Structure 1
Amino acid sequence: MTNIEKRVTELVEEKLTELPDHFLVDVKMHANGDLIILVDGDKGAGIDACAQVSRYVGFKLEEENTIDNPYNLEVSSPGIDTPLKLNRQYVKNVGRTVAAKLADGSNKEGKLTAVDADQITIIAQIKIKGKKAEEAEINIPFDQITETKVLISFK
């Protein structure tokens, strides 16, 4: 994490003390000058919360003259295609279908039913040749997960 990313993280955390159901997901300063801040909330992050964070961080960065080069500040909530990073994001998505890529190269897909500090639990459809698919509860430790995304169904 660069010094700019560290300072921006501090500023976002300061502002989020006023928005207790919101949390910081990520801060990235790209070489092209794009400063991307991802904020989420237990019930989603609306445009108002993003605007408040943007105004606060932008004002503080200008006041402190933290960034010497021109930059573009973007504050948004993570998109649906953005992988889950934080335990709090997993908790928020309990009840939804997720796809997890594992360190061994395999993939697990199912309904996220539980999250604790060490693992997630999903209910997956296990297909057995010649038989009807059966549901199985699978526990997946976080240290085995390389990426998890929420799947959207249009059924």
Structure 2
Amino acid sequence: MASKEEQLVALFAPTVEALECELWGVEYITGGPQKILRVYIDTDEGVSLEDCEKVSRQLSALMDVEDPIAGEYTLEVSSPGMDRPLFTLEQFRRFIGHVAAVKLRIAFDGRRKFKGSINAIEDSDVVLVVDNEEYLLPIESIEKANIVPQF
């Protein structure tokens, strides 16, 4: 069974692509006093406020028709930013050589948090080098991952 995020990605992708943007990812946050639906978009030229506005308008209309989320929620549309989240193996592949902070769903080797260089993708594993040690982290075990900006 697909997660809520996967269902929303499948629903949103055609609309976002028709608006000449890439659907980078979706986060559906239910903890706390309100639900937040965060949609990340990207383009080769970067994301403008106008891009976010047009995608937000279209996704709001789509959500009104399809109604995939019960109750109230806040829709946020934004650029992935410099510390962009990574959702897919292809996104990890695009950032080989960059430093990422990764949080796992369950502990591996006694820890859940890793910060290191994305070295490769092997099958469905992300190869992360942390302190000169390679870790193979299955994509399905990654709860959250972000690029760590280097200045």
TM over 0.5: yes
Alpha-carbon separation, structure 1, partners of 2:43 and 2:116? 21
CA contact (8 A) 2:25 2:39 kept: yes
Alpha-carbon separation, structure 1, partners of 2:85 and 2:131? 22
- TM-aligned CA deviation for residue 15 of structure 1: 0.8
Alpha-carbon separation, structure 2, partners of 1:37 and 1:25? 8
Q: Which has the larger radius of gyration?
A: 1
Counterpart of 1:86 in structure 2 is 88
- TM-aligned CA deviation for residue 117 of structure 1: 3.8
Counterpart of 1:41 in structure 2 is 42
SS at match of 1:113: strand
CA contact (8 A) 2:89 2:124 kept: no
Alignment of 1:56-135 (within 5 A): 56-62=58-64, 64=65, 66=67, 71-78=73-80, 83-102=85-104, 103-104=107-108, 105-106=110-111, 107-126=113-132
Alpha-carbon separation, structure 2, partners of 1:118 and 1:90? 11
- TM-aligned CA deviation for residue 59 of structure 1: 2.6
Taking every aligned residue pair, what percent have the same amino acid on both sides?
21
SS at match of 2:55: helix
Give the length in aligned residue pairs.
140
Gaps of 5+ in 1: 127-135
Residue 146 of structure 2 is aligned to residue 149 of structure 1: yes
- TM-aligned CA deviation for residue 32 of structure 1: 5.2
Per-residue CA deviation, residues 96-146 of structure 1 (Å, 9 max, x unaligned), is: 1123345223354332132244112234444xxxxxxxxx5x241315545
TM-score (norm 2): 0.62
Counterpart of 2:17 in structure 1 is 17
SS at match of 2:18: coil
Alpha-carbon separation, structure 1, partners of 2:144 and 2:25? 15
CA-based RMSD of the aligned residues comes to 3.8
- TM-aligned CA deviation for residue 20 of structure 1: 6.5
